[in-house]
Amino acid sequence: MIDLKGKVALVTGGSRGLGRADCLALARAGADVVVTDILIESDPELEKAAEASGSALSQVMASQKAVYSEKTSSEIRDMGRRSVAMKMDVTNREQVKAVVDQVVKEFGSLDILINNAGTLDHMAAVENQVDALWDRDLKVNLTGAYNCSKAVWPYMKQRNWGRIIMMSSIAGSLGGFGQASYSTTKAGLTGLARTLALEGARYNITVNAIVPGIIGTEAFKMGRPDMNERMIKRVALRRPGEPEDIANAITFLCSPAAGYITGVALPVTGGLDLFTF
């Protein structure tokens, strides 16, 4: 049922973690995939501010600066699909438009957009939130998805077909202690998805949000074991999900089989959002 042959997908933040899993799953379903990510050219002052918070996530992100866009793209080509790795900063509107235009020119279309790029290293109670990091998080997580969606929109309208996925989070639904900026942006993505779903419906463009729960990414595995255990006990299935669980849901929503599903915020949480005890 999930056949994406002939479709061209662009994944932001696609070099590792959930983005990489999304790229590989879309390719296995038959899509050609453009892997985009930003090279490590972060603002040194913002990096220092994030690391100074002392949160486990900020330390993980600081230790994993490498991006693997070309490696992911190479694996996709080994499957027999077309793929290219491209640098794209989702906060740079001119660069986003240039990349989208280039993809359409070289691949012939752009049918699927996965808004996965995001920041996850700003952890502090509200009185200690760093204003510059708050601004950055909104710029990357929320405005970045807006920038990319707006850039692909004319091409999807012209072809009368499109799939856009927002990567939200359970933190956007339940809140997250010390995650004011992150939770706010993830909640905002759900509103953006539902608005674009209304605007895209007459052009056969579906727009949905994925709401991941506790997923066994690199960041989770490097977290404190006692905190991980506390989180897992909140999950009805009593285990973390895998990146492939998210990727499989995304692939389904991008397929013709999900053509009547739009404006949905789909929890992939293992029951984390249920009342568990």
226-264 pLDDT, tens digit per residue, is 999 999 999 999 999 999 999 999 999 999 999 999 999
- CA dist 219 → 13, 140, 170, 270 (Å): 15, 19, 16, 18
**Residues 127/104, Cβ–Cβ less than 8 Å:** no
- Alpha-carbon dihedral 35, 257, 205, 94, rounded to 10 degrees: 0
Q: How far is residue 93's CA from residue 51's CA, in Å, rounded to a whole number?
A: 28
40 pLDDT higher than 50: no
Average pLDDT of the segment spanning 203-218:
96
36 pLDDT higher than 50: yes
Strands (E), 83-146: 83-87, 112-115
Residue 51 banded pLDDT, cuts 50, 70, 90: low
Q: What is the pLDDT of residue 44?
A: 56
Q: What is the pLDDT of residue 52?
A: 58
57 pLDDT higher than 80: no
Catalytically active residues, by annotation: 182
The more confident residue out of 169 and 58 is 169
Tokens of 255: 């397929």
209 pLDDT higher than 50: yes
Whole-prediction pTM value?
0.91
**pLDDT above 70 covers what percent of the chain?**
90
Tokens of 116: 């996965």
- The fold for domain 8-268 equals Rossmann fold (3.40.50)
Residue 18, judged by CB atoms within 10 A of its CB (0-12, 13-18, 19+), counts as buried
Q: How far is residue 258's CA from residue 2's CA, in Å, rounded to a whole number?
A: 9
Question: What confidence tens digit (pLDDT) does each residue in 72-111 have?
Answer: 999 999 999 999 999 999 999 999 999 999 999 999 999 9
Strands (E), the chain: 8-11, 32-37, 83-87, 112-115, 162-167, 205-212, 265-268
In the chain, domain spans: 8-268
**Alpha carbon 55 to chain centroid distance?**
22
Residue 54 banded pLDDT, cuts 50, 70, 90: low
Single-letter amino acid, residue 127 = E
Question: What confidence tens digit (pLDDT) does each residue in 176-187 have?
Answer: 999 999 999 999
Average pLDDT of the segment spanning 34-38:
96
**Radius of gyration, alpha carbons of the chain:** 18
Q: What is the pLDDT of residue 53?
A: 53
